[in-house]
Amino acid sequence: MNEFRPGLEGVVAFQTEIAEPDREGGSLRYRGVDIEELVGRYPYEKVWGLLVDESFEPGMPDPEPFRPANLTGNAPSDLQSALAHLSADWELRKLVDIEPEDARDDLARLSAIAMSIVAQSARVADGKTDPVPDEDVEQGGIAAEKFLLRWRGEADPKHVQAIDTYWICTAEHGLNASTFTARIVASTGADAGAAMSAAVGALSGPLHGGAPARILPMLEGAEKLGDPAQYVKNLLDRGERLMGFGHRIYRGDDPRATLLKRTAKELGSSRYEVADAVEQAALAELKRRKPDRPLPTNVEFWSAVVLDTAEIPPDLTPAMFGCARVAGWSAHILEERKTGRLIRPSAQYVGPAPRPASEVGAAPVPS
Ligand code: ACO
């Protein structure tokens, strides 16, 4: 195919057996299992197993003891750099040189440690320099509880439910920007730490995993003005995008948004009413302005509200997304490794015609 497609929209780059976002029908299946069946029945670490091993057992292991050096409290940045460092610290071997089981085990270790790194970074952001002892963390049950114990030293059951649900809903979603990045790096035969760390970088942008950080301020702005419809109009009139709306894949409802909205209500979120009002206003205004382009609520909108019920600060939301997405990245890295084919698309050159260097500027004077 030689046609240029901005943003690669609609380009089929891979075949995958991992997840199936149903574009029109509003459902999302992991290895064929609808996420509706998973939430509340299997904790995140078992869903990791489903995605990576196609089996709930043994699932993602507990993280091994690890104290990352030089944590800044900026969690995406801490996660990205610590994962890259672990390639060297753990002497991870190149994916191209190892057996599939060893690659899987590297990814399991990295996935588990990602949660520990984010929890420890969040603790530093809270101004606490003393890590929670590992024995205290081990008292916890599921991964979401251990995450909270490692971060705050305590875990409210409602917060655990919010995080576990959020992690399951966002564990995997086909070929998004960060997963594509992970697959590109894996296709070069690099080690699993390099692939994961690159994926975290891709996730940190506001058009991908960084959107929830901008959603709560939007809800607060709408509440302050007291008129959600006018508030979204003002944003759009200023040429801004409404965070949490629009998706490259879904033209119908994003099933994750539906599930997370229900969870926000069940958990008694204090932001539920304003979020619902902003959502209705945004959908109506986007439909009025872009009648031919469906821009439904995406996963990020209600994620922001659910994470808020667990008192997750907006700045931490991209890293929370990273914790969830380690499952999808791991599964895709393994799938990519199987193909053994370097990813190397083409670019269409549209720059200047051949010309002499003198046309660009005078030659430097040799010193
Ligand atoms: N608010 C206002 N206008 C929008 C929005 C939005 N949220 N999303 C798309 N549009 C408009 C664009 O301005 C564009 O208009 P134009 O044709 O007049 O220029 C048109 O709709 C199509 O937009 P694209 O950027 O081509 O749509 P695309 O499918 O590439 O974008 C994206 C998807 C990036 C998610 C986009 O909808 C967006 O920026 N949303 C806001 C950010 C966000 O919520 N990100 C989280 C995504 S979910 C995830 O990553 C897990």
The per-residue pLDDT for range 319-346, each reduced to its tens digit, is: 999 999 999 999 999 999 999 899 998 8
pLDDT of amino acid 353:
97
Q: SS3 for 29?
A: strand
Give the SS3 label for residue 60.
Answer: coil
Q: What percent of the chain has pLDDT over 90?
A: 82
Of 241, 288, 303, 320, which is best to mutate to test ligand 1, by the most ligand atoms within 8 angstroms of its C-beta?
241
Query: What's the pLDDT at 1?
Result: 59
Return the CATH class of domain 34-205+315-339.
mainly alpha
Low-confidence ranges of the chain (pLDDT < 50): none
Find the distance separating the first CA and the last CA of the chain, reported in whole Å: 49
Alpha-carbon dihedral 195, 23, 45, 101, rounded to 10 degrees: -50
State pLDDT tens for residues 197-238. 999 999 988 777 777 778 999 999 999 999 999 999 999 999
Sign (positive or negative) of CA dihedral 222, 225, 231, 235: negative
CATH 1.10.230.10 maps onto the chain at 212-309
Question: Where does ligand 1 bind, in terms of residues with CB under 6 Å?
Answer: 7, 176, 207-208, 211, 241-248, 290, 293, 295, 298-300
CA of 293 to the centre of ligand 1 (A): 10
pLDDT at 315: 87
Supply the pLDDT for residue 25. 67
Report the pLDDT value the prediction gives residue 94, as an integer from 0 to 100: 97
Query: Which residue type is seen at 60?
Result: M
Is the Cβ–Cβ distance between 92 and 191 less than 8 Å?
yes
Read out DSSP for 86-134? Answer: HHHHTTPPPGGGS-HHHHHHHHHHHHHHHHHHHHHHHHHHTT--SPPPH
Give distance in angstroms: CA of 67 to centre of ligand 1: 39
Catalytic residues: 247, 300
**Alpha-carbon distance 158 to 182, whole Å?**
32
- Considering the segment(s) 212-309 as one domain, its CATH architecture is Orthogonal Bundle (1.10)
Which pLDDT belongs to residue 3?
84
Positions of CATH 1.10.580.10 in the chain: 34-205+315-339
